[in-house]
Amino acid sequence: MYAGIWPDAPTEPGSAPAPDLSWVLATAEGARPPAGGVKAKPYVMFVPGGSAHRPEKRWPVERYGELARILYARGLDIVIIGGPQESALAQAIQREAPRTRDLTGRTDFASIAVLGAKAALAIGNDTGPLHLAAAAGAPTVVLFSSVSDPALSAPRGKVAVLQAANLSELAVAKVAQAAAALLPSRQGAA
């Protein structure tokens, strides 16, 4: 057995067992309540980044700002994750939607999993952190351009896949509609 793969491991598409993130998510169990006893609003994770050498796999950052305003109107908060090199993306989103929380450069894999487990929704490009949020349980809207095949590489879980030949052609309204379909009815209605 190499790399945890056993001789009779399932090989058919979709037949592999779900990931076991219980060891990471255990850290979320003891999370403190919000300061002052205020109930935290449900939040959406935005994952606007991705490989710097693959810009064709990124939805335009200004569209995330437009989407943030729509989701705020539905009673949701927005947190933006990514590496330190993606802080400019978060700042661009914040110019469109100032209340977004910029966590770029401040999360590791464990905290992304914890955030994903508690998120009302995750929305982003086809990139590793979005896959991790989906694996942790976040209902997920993943955005694909024609350079990737979602049949081969879409995240698993409660996922809506949106694909456009060029992501700049993908309308905010279409992403908002997919998000609304994954949210509980109380938050999905405008």
Structural contact between residues 130 and 140, judged by C-beta atoms closer than 8 angstroms? yes
pLDDT 10s digits, 35-89: 555 567 899 999 999 988 999 999 999 999 999 999 999 999 999 999 999 999 9
Q: Which value, in Å, is the radius of gyration of the alpha carbons in the chain? A: 17
Read off the amino acid at residue 164. Answer: A
Would you say the C-alpha torsion 21, 48, 45, 141 has a positive or negative sign? Answer: negative
Examine residue 124 and state whether it is found in any structural domain, yes or no: yes
Examine residue 17 and state whether it is found in any structural domain, yes or no: no
* Lowest-confidence region among 17-21, 35-39, 52-56, 126-130: 35-39
The residues, any chain, with a CB within 8 Å of residue 141's CB and separated by 6 or more, are 121, 122, 123, 124, 159, 160, 162, 175, 178, 179, 182
- Average pLDDT of the residues in 122-145: 96
pTM of the entire predicted model = 0.84
How much is the pLDDT for 40?
76
Distance CA 156, CA 165 (A): 22
How much is the pLDDT for 8?
73
**Listed residue (98, 108, 118) closest to 31, CA to CA:** 118
Distance CA 47, CA 130 (A): 6
61: CATH: 3.40.50.2000
Domain that holds residue 166: 43-188
Residue 18 pLDDT > 80, yes or no?
no
**13 is written with which tokens?**
């598409």
Residue 186 pLDDT > 60, yes or no?
no
Residue 188 pLDDT > 70, yes or no?
no
Examine residue 83 and state whether it is found in any structural domain, yes or no: yes
Residue 31 pLDDT > 50, yes or no?
no
Q: Which residues of 133-164 are buried (b: 16+ CB within 10 A; e: fewer)?
A: bbbbbbbbbbbbbeebeeeeebbebebbebbe
More confident residue, 10 or 190: 10
Distance CA 119, CA 78 (A): 10
Examine residue 4 and state whether it is found in any structural domain, yes or no: no
Structural contact between residues 21 and 111, judged by C-beta atoms closer than 8 angstroms? no
Examine residue 103 and state whether it is found in any structural domain, yes or no: yes
More confident residue, 79 or 34: 79
Examine residue 20 and state whether it is found in any structural domain, yes or no: no
Examine residue 6 and state whether it is found in any structural domain, yes or no: no
Q: How many domains in the chain?
A: 1
Examine residue 2 and state whether it is found in any structural domain, yes or no: no
The average confidence (pLDDT) of the chain is 87
